[in-house]
Chains A and B, each alone.
Chain A
């Protein structure tokens, strides 16, 4: 009876397969590499999640839709829920899963332990396992370029910073922008608001308006929506930057430049490695030099000399001649951190939980 049933099922599956093949649809599912993506926001947020998704689509284009199959889930909350989403993907036969937000780190590790045959790639974290890699971009390099523009462009010497979640990535961004704004404008002052969210347009808009009311004429954001740019536009003489995406719809002003995430080459290489059987765990951190961090076109609102200085810094970072965290630098409380000419090591940067000297306020713990 059992055999009969199985035979029948196999027969039915074959028949279905024949029909599918006959109708031109690709049926060879088992040959395809199944790639899963977990996104923290919607795929059309105009920022972080959208750029992961677009990079994923580029990866498919690159490798070929006949060779890879993509599954993805949007709006997955960080924490236990993401563990469920990843488990489900693994159970459904995913060969490699990319989890694309910092808060997925521990859930990814948990699921990776349970599915040793599935490869996991976690974005912006630092934990790895034999089947789990960490990859991240050196966004602080882009923020050094932004800081240079921001410090030169501010007339009120007050720069507003909308900070998202208090993790090293965000703290690094604040420090990097501040150091470089200060370098070109010693009178510059930062006002920082923490929102505890990556994406909440209403909160972001309120925060931007508050910073503008308190005198900021440049807004830096580490949140994903375009709401701060809309607030800057409404205020008139305030500038801002695109975050994660180019946000070109606000160019040439208030958006004067942007940091763009480009994950496509990495995704293509890693999925290809799974297909070739050469995938190995690693922890990489790429920057402007490999194109993972892109600088959106600097608009004409920025004076020529400022633009030139910003591009010069971008090129120097890309060529490896300049590191955004180069001494002399002190920590906020005045204790020495980097001596003259000394460059911060990646370990310290990855776990950065302190402000540099000159910044006011405390980092929420």
Chain B
């Protein structure tokens, strides 16, 4: 065993990369659920974002256009979910699951001609001065743009929900859609917007995997990240900063267990590979002991006639 081979700084840097995709998708889903909608289609929207982003980036040669297309693709698929659940009043759980299956199938169809293609590299954003700080610089300030975008997104969602009128309305719609409706808020419109935002975030998360973390296109390459994002929202008690914590914890233990294996730690590899799931769930369950409940209208269908 050679634990000295593990460089804590490199570990910290790679946990930020390993956590970003799940974090962006989870914070998007958090907004959707805060509005009272349960969209289980995160995995489908992520993989759709992954291929849309990959295809756009590979075709145009610009990673930025790729990410824009990924957000668009995710949102478009989410629009389908919005039509089903908000207009046609379909069951949200069934529609979400169907969205995942549809997204997986459609992404592999679109992806047929992108196998073996190399995407344009996304440049790292070496922030001048800050990235020159010894020790902290390389860890915190020399990542790609999306790592910081993820952090900013969590902060923005937190501030939006806590301090803005729009955030209060969104939460009101999620807590009691009948009351919000009686007050004159457009429940369906607000929910559709939230669903589109969630879809765009999931799409960005997926593109982060196909354009930066891997980078290549393979069918089903999100490998269940969407389900982890969904679980994170619940275990984080619908609180943005806990989503961040959960994602970093998950990413951190994922990277750490690989490091421990490579260093030859005398714990069987099977236990190490399940540790990210166990530890993340355990910590978040303990933290959610303060009983912050889910939005009261979560998953319930709303119709103005009720």
Contacts and interface: CB of A to CB of B under 8 A. Distances in A.
B117 to A, nearest CB: 8
Residue in A45, A192, A201 with the greatest tally of chain B CB atoms within 10 Å: A201
Contacts of B266: 362
A202 B115 contact: no
Interface of B: 1, 5-7, 10-11, 14, 18, 108, 112, 115-116, 118, 121, 209, 213-216, 218-223, 225, 254-255, 258-259, 261-264, 266, 268-270, 273
B10 A213 contact: yes
Contacts of B18: 206
Contacts of A191: 5, 262-264
B221 A201 contact: yes
Could you say which of B7, B116, B118, B258 has the most chain A C-beta atoms within 10 Å of its C-beta? B258
Most B CB contacts (10 A, CB to CB) among A210, A226, A227, A361 go to: A210
Contact of A201 (B11, B108, B214, B258): B214
30 contacts: A44-B112, A44-B116, A191-B262, A191-B263, A193-B258, A194-B261, A196-B270, A196-B273, A199-B218, A200-B223, A201-B216, A202-B214, A202-B221, A206-B213, A207-B258, A209-B14, A210-B258, A211-B262, A213-B10, A214-B5, A214-B7, A215-B5, A226-B216, A227-B214, A230-B118, A249-B116, A360-B264, A361-B264, A362-B266, A364-B268
A365 B268 CA distance: 9
Interface string A353-365: 0000000111011
Given A44-B116, A364-B269, 14 more contacts: A44-B115, A191-B263, A192-B262, A202-B213, A202-B222, A206-B14, A210-B255, A214-B6, A215-B5, A230-B118, A249-B116, A361-B264, A362-B268, A365-B268
A214 B264 CA distance: 12
Interface centre among A202, A203, A209, A361 (most CB of B within 10 A): A202
A31 to B, nearest CB: 32
B115 A203 contact: no
A249 to B, nearest CB: 6
Contacts, number: 100
A132 B132 CA distance: 64
A42 interface: yes
Contacts of A75: 219-220
A234 to B, nearest CB: 8
Contacts of B225: 202
B215 A42 contact: no
Interface of A: 42, 44-46, 75, 160, 191-196, 199-203, 205-207, 209-211, 213-215, 225-227, 230, 234, 249, 360-362, 364-365
Contacts of B14: 206, 209-210, 213
A40 to B, nearest CB: 12
B209 A202 contact: yes
A206 B218 contact: no
Most buried by B among A192, A214, A215, A360: A214
Contact of B261 (A192, A199, A202, A225): A192
A194 B218 contact: no
A215 to B, nearest CB: 6
Contacts of A360: 1, 264
A211 B2 CA distance: 13
A14 B7 CA distance: 73
A199 B118 CA distance: 18
Contacts of B108: 42
